[in-house]
Amino acid sequence: MKTKLLFPFFLFLFCLLTNAQTTGKYVLVIHGGAGGMDENMPDSLKQEYLSSLNKALEIGEQILANDGTAIDAVEKVINYLEDNPLFNAGKGSVLTSEGKAEMDAAIMSGKDLSCGAVTGVRKIKNPISLARAVMEKSQHVFFAGEGAEKFAKEIGFKFVNPKYFIVENRYETWLKEIKKKKKGTVGAVALDKFGNLAAATSTGGMSMKKPGRVGDVPVIGAGTYANNKTCAVSCTGWGEKFIKNTVAFNVSAMMEYKNMNLRDAVSEMINNRLSPDDGGLIAVDKDGNFTLQYNTKSMLRGYVTSDGKRDVIIWQK
C-alpha cells in the first residue's frame, strides 16, 4: 500500500471501530421544573415555554446524534436552560429571602459514578459547567458558596455580576409573593450511543429560601444520580422531601436490588414515598426506557430518541 494511503486507511479503520462500538441508540429527556402552572396562561407564554423546551432538545439531540457523549449533551442542554430567563436556573433564578440569586447544580456520569456539585454560587453564569469542572478538575466532588467561587477563579472561570441573574419579573415576584413558595429546577438525563448514562440538574432553588439553604439538587443521590448499571435521574420539587427520601438514588436502588423496572420504581417514589404536590422527576435507564412522572399540577418536560419519539409537554396529556 502506498504511504500516502496509510492515513486515510487508518482513519477509515478508526471510524469503523468507533462506529462498531456505538449502539446507534440515544435518548434525551429534559425538564424545566414541576409546579402549579396555570392552564389558562396566555398562549404566547405557553408557546415560549414549549419552543424553549424544543430548542433545548435540539441542542442535546445534535450532540447525541453526532456520536457525542451523554455528559456533553446534558451539560449543554442545561447551559441553554440556565441562559433562558423563563426557567428557575442561572438567569431567571428565583431569589432568597434577602433578594439574591443563590444557585445549586450537580452533574453525574453513570460510567464511573464520577460527579460534581456546587451550592450557593452567586456569580457563575452556568453553575452546571462549574459542577462539571468540580467533577473533572478537582480532587473534591462538592463545593459550597465562596469556596466554590474560589475554585472557579483558580481554574479561570468567567464571573458575572450577581445582577445578571435577576430578571425584572423574578424581582417583582419576590416583592409581591413574599412567603409564597415556588418550586422549579431544570434537569436533563441522557443515554448516549456508547451506552453511557448521565444526569444534570441546575436550580435557583426554592423561592424565598433562607440564604445558605442547600436543596436536593447538589446532593448526589437526592436530586441527581446516574449509574450505568441502572439509570440516570434528575428531580424537581420540594428539595427537603427529596433529600429525606434520597429520591434519585432510591430509584436506582429499587432497580438494582429489587429488579423493578424504571417506570415502576419511579412511580413508587412519586406516588407512594412522596406526597401530592412534592414534585417530579425524569429518568432514563441503561436500555433506553424513559419516564417523566410528577405529582404536581404541571411539569415542563420533553424527550427525543434516536428511534423518532419526540414531544414537549406542560400538563397531563
Q: Could you give the CA distance from residue 131 to residue 54 in angstroms, rounded to a whole number?
A: 24
Residue 197's CB: how many other CB atoms inside 10 A?
Answer: 30
* Least distance in angstroms from the C-beta of 38 to a second copy: 25
Q: Is 151 a residue that touches a second copy (CB under 8 A)?
A: yes
* Least distance in angstroms from the C-beta of 193 to a second copy: 25
Q: Is 111 helix (H, G, I), strand (E, B) or coil?
A: coil
Q: Could you give the CA distance from residue 207 to residue 130 in angstroms, rounded to a whole number?
A: 22
Residue (64 or 254) nearer to a second copy, CB: 254
CA 193-134-90 angle, to 5 degrees, is 85
Q: Is 267 a residue that touches a second copy (CB under 8 A)?
A: no
Q: Is 302 a residue that touches a second copy (CB under 8 A)?
A: no
Residue of 35, 111, 118, 25 whose CA lies nearest to 78: 118
Q: Is 249 a residue that touches a second copy (CB under 8 A)?
A: yes
Residue (65 or 253) nearer to a second copy, CB: 253
* Least distance in angstroms from the C-beta of 53 to a second copy: 29
Q: Is 258 a residue that touches a second copy (CB under 8 A)?
A: yes
Contact 233, 255 (CB under 8 A): no
Site residues for a second copy, 120-149, by CB under 8 A, read 120, 138-148
* Least distance in angstroms from the C-beta of 242 to a second copy: 10
Q: Is 153 helix (H, G, I), strand (E, B) or coil?
A: helix
For a second copy (CB under 8 A), the number of binding residues is: 43
Residue 85's CB: how many other CB atoms inside 10 A?
Answer: 18
Q: Could you give the CA distance from residue 297 to residue 180 in angstroms, rounded to a whole number?
A: 16
Site residues for a second copy, 206-225, by CB under 8 A, read 209-215, 219-222, 225
Q: Pick from 50, 54, 58, 114: which binds a second copy (CB under 8 A)?
A: 114
Contact 95, 205 (CB under 8 A): no
Q: Is 7 a residue that touches a second copy (CB under 8 A)?
A: no
* Least distance in angstroms from the C-beta of 270 to a second copy: 17
Q: Could you give the CA distance from residue 252 to residue 235 in angstroms, rounded to a whole number?
A: 13
Residue 185 annotated in active site: yes
- Report the interface residues with a second copy, using CB under 8 A: 113-115, 117, 119-120, 138-148, 150-151, 209-215, 219-222, 225, 240, 243-246, 249-250, 253-254, 256-258
